[in-house]
Chains A and B, each alone.
Chain A
Amino acid sequence: MIDPQQIEQERPYLLRYALAQLRERDAAEEAVQETLLAALESQGSFSGKSTVRTWLTSILRFKLIDGLRRKGKEKLFESLEDEADDGDFDGLFAQDGHWREPVRAWSGPESQLVSKQFWEVFEACSKVMPRRTAMVFAMREVMGMEIAEICNNLEISATNCSVLLYRARMTLRECFSTRWSREGER
């Protein structure tokens, strides 16, 4: 049996996780509440092979994916126009299409930091990314959903999905690089 206190103390982490996907506080709190209740009811299924956090996160992830499926065809967003071009990255490339600046390697410690600092950077970066772009990235890379399912849920074409993922990856990569170059200057 897990101490209910141990489950409750993961609430802030789970809320952060849900907020990053849903970006609506009420919906995130509801999903976390449902997760904690489900966990308390099914403690017997916790084998102890993973941490309590990992177990709770997997319950929450299924709830979020279920929620997205239920929303299905609901009109979540306006036109794709503003999100479908990648002009924001003009500054990274020269006229001939080659990198303007050398691409710096993410060294050993930095490669470890991507998962440690992921939520912090993702939250900060989400503020400059259109909502749908951040959501497509979270569905694909955080929740591991297949492209066809994402397209179906958000009613976008595979081509649009690919463009949004490219934009999200480019933006997040810049956020991590900027953060580390700042830290390196200190």
Chain B
Amino acid sequence: MRLSCREASRLISAGMDRPLSAAEHLKLRMHLLLCGNCRQFSQQLALLRNGARRAGEGVE
């Protein structure tokens, strides 16, 4: 069963807080290989985390 982008976006977010199961990881990896939009989304969430952490450390 292939993931939709909406499901992939939830998994990308979940993967930032817990280890994904092997099945989730595989599905997401396959989806990201084929979907440029979700790759961009994943990168944006990583930048958001990085920005928040830097702000949290008082680094601007």
Contact = CB atoms under 8 A, between A and B. Distances in A.
B30 interface: no
Contacts of A51: 58
Contact of B57 (A57, A104, A114, A162): A57
A36 interface: no
B45 A169 contact: yes
Interface string B27-60: 0000000001110110111011111111111111
Interface string A50-72: 01011011100100000000000
B59 A142 contact: no
Interface residue SS majority, chain B? helix
Contacts of B45: 169, 173
Interface residues of B, number: 33
Most buried by B among A86, A111, A118, A172: A118
A119 B55 contact: yes
A104 B30 CA distance: 21
Interface of B: 4-7, 9-10, 13-14, 16-18, 36-38, 40-41, 43-45, 47-60
Q: What are the nearest 9 A-B pairs in CB distance?
A: A97-B4, A114-B51, A57-B58, A142-B56, A141-B52, A118-B55, A115-B54, A115-B51, A103-B40
